[in-house]
Amino acid sequence: MHTYLIGQLEEVRPVERKNKNGELISMIDVMVTFTSRDLQGYLVKSTDTLSYPADLLSKFSPFKGKFIAIPHVFLTTKTGNYLFPDQNMSFLTFDRDPLLTVEVKKVS
């Protein structure tokens, strides 16, 4: 199943991490923040940081401050549920939050 992580692209940061062999590898951290209001009007925020290969820095950087939808693959196995960024699909960008185009109303 495919799903999207949707939010504002807050930061794109180059980082170095050690792989299984102890070697340093170059990566980027992509920070996406989802913002909404609950039915009582309280602010709800959730920030996720995704790791990608360093060669994608120039692909994400121009969209800092914009809203982004990053495709993910959702897998369910007998050992649990897993969510992975799907690098075979392109991400979508928006000038405004695509989820807040309609007012949220409380259902009675």
Tell me the percentage of the chain whose pLDDT exceeds 90. 55
Bridge partners (DSSP) of residue 97 are none
Look at residue 105 in the predicted model and tell me its pLDDT.
Answer: 58
**Strand residues in 1-108 grouped as ranges (E):** 2-18, 24-37, 43-53, 67-77, 80-85, 92-94
Among 24, 22, 16, 75, CA closest to 51: 16
Look at residue 13 in the predicted model and tell me its pLDDT.
Answer: 96
Look at residue 55 in the predicted model and tell me its pLDDT.
Answer: 93
**pTM, full prediction:** 0.79
Look at residue 103 in the predicted model and tell me its pLDDT.
Answer: 58
* Confidence check: pLDDT of 36 > 90: no
Domain residue ranges in the chain: 2-100
Architecture of domain 2-100 in this structure: Beta Barrel (2.40)
